[in-house]
Amino acid sequence: MSNSADHPTLPDNYGGVLRFTLVSMTFAFVMFVVMGIFGLSMRIEQSGLLDLLAPEHFYQVMTLHGLSMVSLALLGSLGGFAAVIGRRVTLDLRWLWTTFFFFFTGMMFVLFSTLGGGFAAAWTALYPLPFHGGYAFWGVVGVTIGIGFVLIGLLIYCVLLIRSVSRAHGGIRNALGWPLIFRRTAHQENLTILDVLAMAVAIPGVVCVVAGYIWLIPLWLQASGVVQSIDVLFMKNFDYLFGHLLVNLTIYFAAGLMYFLLPAYTGRPWKLGLAYVLALNSITFIVPIIYLHHLYQDFAQPLGLQVVGQFGTYASVIPVILITLFGGLSQYYHSGIRWDVTTILLAIGLWGWMFGGMAAALDATIAVNQVMHNTLWIPGHFHTYFLLGAVIFLWGFFFFITRTLSGTRDGPRTRYAAVAYGVGGAGFTLVFLASGAFSIPRRYAVHLPEWQAFAMTAVPFILLLGSGIIWIGYTMLSRLTRAWERTKGPVDILLPGGAAHGPE
């Protein structure tokens, strides 16, 4: 039976797309919990409460934690976004599963190469550290192949999106909403904010992959003895270009889940107007240059690029505030919305994204970065807008679809789990930011005695955060079997009549 029988607007293969979503998000969530436990172990080590990790193990865990978190969050957001955009355009299932294969394999390479091969050059693997860290040769090769696999997975997904969405709208320019800009038409038939977002993010996604390989190939050439050394500044630029893009893409795809969910709850359309098209298109052009703020302390970098980095970062904040935050808050404002786990998580996401974004914008100011760079302020701001921004959107969406597809009810106290996530997460990240304000460096396996109180303070917040995550996770995963069965027949993630929240 095809989906189109009951849901005439949905592609026939939508159930298959949802199975990709369920598998990707489940894998991402399980890895998230494991990597979170590793994160907790690092903070405990820094607090001096317990001696869990010798420095060499601390740095292996730190590298694995970083690489896995960025990969799983990206995979989760790609999986979630497929369920959203896959309602509007037909996504080839073979491409989707190939994406998953490359992500899964790449992440396994990283897992074994860090814990087994001893690779511990941090997730950024700043050249030439991979060749000077005393790591096993196969560990270096394994991690870089793993990153290469993740990038291929991303490339396949982005090309699929560009191909599918542009075909559905008669070309790339139409899919980017350019007629609204250049012909000043008031309306473009059947084009939504999600379509333009898909294009605006998938295009820099391809740039990210190209930049990643421009960084990876010289590493492989040196590993194989073809070249002896490479320019450090060149490598740093491409390392951060691909790394920053990778994280930014995750956030934008995750925001797309909110663009879908909130109107489903409130009945308020997230209309695509000229301002939104301009803002979304600006993502395509601005996002690839803002990585430059990672190199402010490399004084050898040309001065013009430093200034462009600050300008570009400031410019990137404007569409985020005007679209995601203003649009998201407008959805809640006097909406009569029903508070459940998903709407609580999304609301926390609107707080975390902005709060973390403010910390990021401050640090993207060169004069501030001079005294904040590579202190714990940095993990402070990115954990705020990642853990409490992008990733919380993922789990809000995952919770939503597992409940809707399984047709189960929430327990009366499940909402407390979402609150625990928010309170624990906010405390945990604020301690990071305060640590940065007190000049505590990041990536220190051992903390001076006067710094340990900060890490000690963070631990109870992490435990509270963890309890919320485990509670939410248990609820979601226990619904998976029923949700999976539902995808085998005609299915949608929105209930008939537009009701988003499912059974009480």
Partner 1 sequence: MILISPRYVFVLLLVMGGVYTLLWAWVMHSSRERVEYGEITGGLDVLRRRLFSVIALAALVVFLGTQTILPYQPVRDITVGEPVTVINVTTSQFVFALSNTTIPANVPVEFAVTSVDVNHGLGIYDPDGQIIAQTQSMPGYTNRLIFNFTKTGQHRIHCLEYCGVDHWGMEAFFNVE
Verify binding: residue 446, partner 1, rule CB under 8 A: yes
Q: Which of 47, 99, 250, 310: binder of partner 1 (CB under 8 A)?
A: 310
Report in angstroms how near the CB of residue 117 gets to partner 1 at its nearest. Answer: 15
Sorted by sequence, the CB contacts under 8 Å of residue 384 that are 6+ apart come out as: 352, 355, 356, 359, 429, 433
Question: Is the CB of 10 or the CB of 120 nearer to partner 1?
Answer: 120
Q: Is 375 helix (H, G, I), strand (E, B) or coil?
A: strand
Please report whether residue 227 would count as binding partner 1 according to CB under 8 A: no
Piece in contact with partner 1 (CB under 8 A), picked from 14-22, 81-89, 122-130, 187-195:
122-130
Among 114, 174, 266, 414, binds partner 1 (CB under 8 A): 266
Q: Which of 311, 427, 456, 477 binds partner 1 (CB under 8 A)?
A: 311
The amino acid sitting at 183 is R
Q: How far apart are the first and last CA of the chain?
A: 29
Q: Which residues, 408 to 437, sit near partner 1 by CB under 8 A? A: 433-434, 436-437
Cα→Cα distances 459→41, 63, 374, 454, Å: 9, 20, 21, 9
Cα radius of gyration (the chain)? 22
Stretch that binds partner 1, among 13-21, 193-201, 346-354, 488-496 (CB under 8 A): 346-354
Count Cβ atoms within 10 A of the Cβ of residue 173 and give its class: 0-12 exposed, 13-18 middle, 19 or more buried. Answer: middle
Find the binding residues for partner 1 in span 59-78 (CB under 8 A).
59
Closer residue to partner 1 (CB): 267 or 489: 267
Where are the alpha helices (H) located in 116-231, listed in sequence order? Answer: 137-168, 172-175, 178-182, 193-223
Among 116, 170, 171, 267, contact with partner 1 (rule: CB under 8 A): 267
- CB 91, min distance to partner 1, A: 31
**Stretches 4-12, 154-162, 163-171, 232-240: which one binds partner 1 (CB under 8 A)?**
232-240
Find how far residue 1's CA is from the centre of its chain.
35
223 sits near partner 1 (criterion: CB under 8 A): no
Among 281, 375, 406, 414, binds partner 1 (CB under 8 A): 375
Number of residues that bind partner 1 (CB under 8 A): 78
Residue type, 284: T
Residues numbered 271 to 300 that lie near partner 1 (CB under 8 A) are 275, 297-300
> Which range binds partner 1 by CB under 8 A, 69-77, 176-184, 365-373, 399-407?
365-373
d(C-alpha 116, C-alpha 364), whole Å: 36
Distance CA 378, CA 362 (A): 11
**Neighbouring C-beta atoms of residue 495, cutoff 10 Å:** 14
Query: Exactly one of 126, 456, 470, 477 binds partner 1 (CB under 8 A); which one?
Result: 126
The minimum distance between CB 442 and partner 1, in angstroms, equals 8
Q: Which of 415, 443, 452, 456 touches partner 1 by CB under 8 A? A: 443
Cβ proximity to partner 1: between 375 and 402 the closer is: 375
Phi, then psi, of 236 in degrees rounded to 5: -65, -40
Residues 127-146 that bind partner 1 (CB under 8 A): 128-129, 132-134
* Of the candidates 305, 437, 294, 454, the residue with the CA atom closest to the CA atom of residue 371: 437
Q: Extract the tokens encoding 257.
A: 């889940």
Angstrom distance (rounded) from CA 200 to CA 274: 15
Q: Which of 160, 196, 251, 317 binds partner 1 (CB under 8 A)?
A: 317
Identified binder of partner 1 from the candidate list 30, 49, 50, 326, rule CB under 8 A: 326
Three-class secondary structure of residue 441 per DSSP = strand
Say if CB 420 and CB 467 are below 8 A apart.
Answer: yes
Q: Which of 268, 415, 453, 477 binds partner 1 (CB under 8 A)?
A: 268
For the bound state, the minimum distance from the C-beta of residue 327 to partner 1, rounded and expressed in Å, comes to 9
Does the protein bind partner 1 through residue 494 (CB under 8 A)? no
Q: Is 330 in the site for partner 1 (CB under 8 A)?
A: yes
Quote the CA–CA distance of 191 and 171 in Å, as a whole number: 12
Q: What is the footprint of partner 1 within residues 160-189 (CB under 8 A)?
A: none
Buried b (16+ CB within 10 A) or exposed e, 230-242: eeeeebbbbbbbb
Please identify which residue in 49, 333, 407, 488 interacts with partner 1, judged by CB under 8 A.
Answer: 333
- According to CB under 8 A, which one of 12, 444, 470, 480 is a site residue for partner 1? 444
Whose Cβ is closer to partner 1: residue 206's or residue 368's?
A: 368
* Between 297 and 481, CB nearer to partner 1: 297
With respect to partner 1, which residue has the nearer C-beta, 49 or 318?
Answer: 318
DSSP 364: T
Q: Which is nearer to partner 1, 20 or 432 (CB)?
A: 432
Is the separation of the CB atoms in 450 and 498 below 8 Å? no
Q: How many helices (H) and strands (E) does the chain have?
A: 19, 0
Residue of 389, 377, 461 lying closest to 425 (CA atoms): 461
Helices (H), 48-115: 55-85, 93-115
Based on the shown chain and the rule CB under 8 A, indicate whether residue 315 belongs to the binding site for partner 1: yes
Stretch that binds partner 1, among 33-41, 181-189, 305-313, 392-400 (CB under 8 A): 305-313
